[in-house]
Structure 1
Amino acid sequence: MREITYSEAIREAMIQAMNKDEDVFILGEDIGIYGGAFGVTNGMIEIFGPERVRNTPISEAAISGAAVGAALTGMKPILEIQFSDFIMIALDNIVNQAAKTRYMFGGKGKVPLVIRLPGGSGAGFAAQHSQSLEAWMAHVPGLKVVQPSNAYDAKGLMRAALNDDNTVLFYEHKLLYQTKCRVPEEEYEVPLGVADIKKTGKDITIVATGVMVNRALEAAEILQKEHIDVEIIDPRTLVPLDIDTILKSVEKTSRVLVVYEAVKRGGYGAEIVSQIVENDTFGYLDAPISRLGGIETPMPYNPTLEKAAVPQVNNIVEECRKLMNY
């Protein structure tokens, strides 16, 4: 099977959906000739033209309102927010309109909208362009939140998001865009709400999200040499969350480390920890649950400080060692 990048996988999923359904279109800042801030929509305007690949003004409030309105009238928009941080300017349309319309109108109104959100640190974009705010969105009833960690999942989850009648927030980590893995050419879905076991193991369960899945896999190779066998669970979607897969893993390993890039305080990892603690699985634990997140600081511009602000492979290794020695 061929290998393609994360960004190519997302683009392929969008092209296949647009070829299949004329109601699907893309809008966002610089997504046309420029191909988007991270090149994900490269070449799409040549395929579909400016009516379906629509360059917009630099106004997240305006373009999110247009996307919600289009979805309400039967279209299936894909909205690219240039940096996920800018979602704050669009929150009223997303949180008070897109998330609530279906409930408030008894299912008669629906908002089948996918919002693409390049997020995370590591690319030197500093404090206003490098945040991980997915926990904010996971808090809102009516929104679904997706966070793929590789190209295969990105293509399949995008297809599933486009087939959903709800608003789906699709978080794409900037550092993952050029990573590659095997991806089928044909269309396929990765269902929302189904976690994936990226590596099986018996000693520690690591639940990791986004780019932290790859770092956890690197850490697992180091720990294997120390005879520590790690199991790695990638939720893939935060809402809905496949807690059952996580709980089964915890019952097997009896130790848990939750790793995410966002600031540790109030991050989505706290929700995962809470659901484990509130379940009967808590009785299987042989050590307290460990939670590894970003430090409480705006993201630094300096590359050394930026790296120090979020969990790295060595931090994951050290936390696992502590868990084994508890």
Structure 2
Amino acid sequence: MLKKVVLIALPHVAPFEFGVICEVFGVDRSDMGGPVFDFTIGAAEPGPVPTNLGYDMMILNDLSAAADADLIAVPAHDIEGPLHPEVLRVLHEANDRGAWILTVCSGAFTLAKSGLLDGKRATTHWMHADRLAREYPSIEVDADVLFVQDGNIITGAGTSAGIDAALHLVRTELGAAAANVIARRMVVPPQRAGGQAQYIATPLPAEPSDSFAGVTDWMLEHLDRDLPVDELARKALMSSRTFARRFRADLGTTPAAWLNKQRLMRAQQLLEETTLGLEAVATETGFGSAAVMRHHFVKTLQTTPASYRRTFCVREFAS
């Protein structure tokens, strides 16, 4: 179980990405029924650590707490210069024992320098992706996604995508309810798919359509129904082709992929919070059958609905 988290403060660290890890894993939310983590910030050389904004952070702890950590987190930082031997040791030991390793933005370069991303798929901020691919050709760099999980390593893209990557990890280890508590306190979406686009290439319309926002709400209220694009387009008063194009431009994914993700999230909630049978859950969420729902669980979450329920139903969080 994800319990002990160590955040590594590296020279010229980016305060926002550093703060993302602190906010997700360092805040006690037991009053809302959320998880509590044993959270430590450490540095290879304790003392003042410069940020990329011109001020120092005083880091009092070394990296000894990382010896048995369940998660090692590496935020964005200056990608120039060599990797400190102590950081290299901590990362390799964590990987060898199967601990989670999470990077945000340019933090992926630290893992690249360590060799732990060799032969793996990864992402970073789109501005750095070409350089990562060029300097480390053994890494399969995907510049178009919010985060990538490859085994025990999760690499997140820039800024808020680090929140998505961290919440994905919480959801994987502790269930949707735990991730939702954290997201609610942070006032962020509880789940954005890792494959969602990092940025929108097409500018948003100057005046967003109320009917377009309304149709997504309607979709959420009717997840149990078959919702073809033609019907959704009529609800939005658009042609099917325009609707599909606008939907992808606004939300970074196709209507079918967005709908599938919402159905999966709803199924997770029902499996955690109710005793409905698998067929009933599949019917209520629009998957149609337990077999189809199982396919999507295995494909997206690498587990079956039954296993998910056994792991996360009526879970007790530490306080």
TM-score range, shorter chain: 0.3 to 0.5
Q: Which has the higher contact order (CA 8 A, sep 6+)?
A: 1
TM-score with structure 1 setting the length:
0.35
Higher helix share: 2
> Could you tell me the TM-score, scaled by structure 2's length?
0.35
